[in-house]
Structure 1
Amino acid sequence: MRNGEEVKSLFFDVCSNGNMESYDLLYKLMCTKLIHFSAAIIGSFHMAEEVVSDVFIMLWQKRERLSNVRNPLMYIYVCTRNLSLNALSQRKKHVDYETLDRDALAMAPDIEHRIISTEVAQIIEKAIRELPTRCQLIFRLVKIDGLSYKEVAELLEISTKTVDAQLAVAIKKLSSAIRLSMPNDLLSAYFQLR
């Protein structure tokens, strides 16, 4: 089951049935990604953990009224963004995505389950960390968190063309950086297993 479909299934089970097990699974599935997203905005992992906790408390409290939400993944990300902005400052309504906390954007640990080796994961993560901040955020939201271009555009309040352009830049830079830093034997082995 794709991440978005799993989120949708768990979300609706929580909202329709008040299923605490689904609530726990939803939290475990999204927690790390949301904390990194929030921390990139706020600049503090401690505050981000509180924000994500508040998002899930709110979700549980309002669960019966949320069964009509069409895109639960996007809904949870928008709630996280909004609570992060509130935590950052009551007056600040716009985030400069160029100045986000790069360390907070660090890849969630589950990436290694999808990659053949820790060495490859480290090379890829290093290349991702070298991307411009906004580009890195967009890459992670689309390619790692599984949001669509449209969802990322709505979430970051930018156009889908900007998302597409930033993703193209990210992929071009990552391809180049990975080719340059990955030993030829490891690169060959990686692509043969694909």
Structure 2
Amino acid sequence: MVNNEQIRILFDRICRDEEMQAYKALYSLLCSRLIHFSASIVYSYHLAEEIVSDVFVMLWQKRRQLQHVRNPLVYLYVSTKNLSLNSLQQQKKHQHATLDMLDVNALSILPDAEHNLISAEVSLKIEQAICSLPARCQLIFRLVKLDGLKYNEVATLLEISSKTVDAQLAIAVKKITQAIRLDLSTDQVNAYYKIGQ
């Protein structure tokens, strides 16, 4: 899970001190997650890599103007979403691009089984249960439980209410728990994603 305080410190060092080492560290920390997020929108890892690269280039170019940003993680996700949707609209001039057209396979990032003290087999079963969720529900679950965004941050990013985030997350947890109930206890699933903490 991404550490918001670490991201904020790195972002501040980039904006305030123009520190290239902090820039590289922030890129390394968030690159994979942002690429997966972008790829779920544009259906292309190659294009998603370009988009995330563009997001970080813009961050460096505008670093002095971004000192006021209070939540760098949300800022970077929103920037990635906007560039992804713009790119998709440029590719499909006549088709309206929205987050409802997600490629849910691109969202898939297996949590580190060793870090969570859970077997690779169990980790795979949980991932399969997550992949069976509807696209929007799956995205919300991943942003909250895997990327560590708060409900209000996800609501801002996806332009929905916090209550919708809460409802979708409850649906996701219930479906995942039901899907793997034969193999895992609810406590194991909750411990795996640190639900309720």
What's the TM-score once normalised by structure 2's chain length? 0.86
* Aligned partners of 1:13 and 1:19 also within 8 Å: yes
Q: How is 1:70-109 mapped onto 2 (pairs within 5 angstroms)?
A: 70-90=70-90, 95-97=98-100, 99-107=101-109, 109=110
Return the offset for 1:7: 0.8
* Aligned partners of 1:85 and 1:93 also within 8 Å: no
Determine if the alignment matches structure 1 residue 135 to structure 2 residue 122.
Answer: no
Instruction: State the one-letter code of the partner of 1:17.
Output: D
Deviations 1:126-156 (A, max 9, x none): 1111111111000000111111111111111
* Aligned partners of 1:36 and 1:105 also within 8 Å: yes
Return the offset for 1:115: 2.2
Return the offset for 1:112: 3.0
Q: Percent identity, aligned pairs only?
A: 55
Q: 1:9 — aligned with what?
A: 9
* Aligned partners of 2:8 and 2:72 also within 8 Å: yes
Moved over 2 A (4+): 90-94, 109-115, 187-191
What's the TM-score once normalised by structure 1's chain length? 0.88
* Aligned partners of 1:14 and 1:20 also within 8 Å: yes
* Aligned partners of 1:11 and 1:22 also within 8 Å: yes
Q: 1:40 — aligned with what?
A: 40
The alpha-carbon distance between structure 1 residues 48 and 142, as it changes in their structure 2 partners (threshold 3 A), is same
Instruction: State the one-letter code of the partner of 1:122.
Output: L
Q: How is 1:31-180 mapped onto 2 (pairs within 5 angstroms)?
A: 31-90=31-90, 95-97=98-100, 99-107=101-109, 109=110, 111-116=112-117, 117-180=119-182
Q: Matched residue pairs, number?
A: 187
Give the Cα separation in 1 of the matches to 2:61 and 2:144.
29
Structure 2's unaligned 5+ residue stretches are 193-197
Return the offset for 1:96: 4.0
Structure 1's unaligned 5+ residue stretches are none
* Aligned partners of 2:40 and 2:102 also within 8 Å: yes
* Aligned partners of 1:115 and 1:121 also within 8 Å: no
The alpha-carbon distance between structure 1 residues 27 and 179, as it changes in their structure 2 partners (threshold 3 A), is same
Give the Cα separation in 1 of the matches to 2:82 and 2:130.
26
What is the CA RMSD across the aligned residues, in angstroms?
A: 2.4
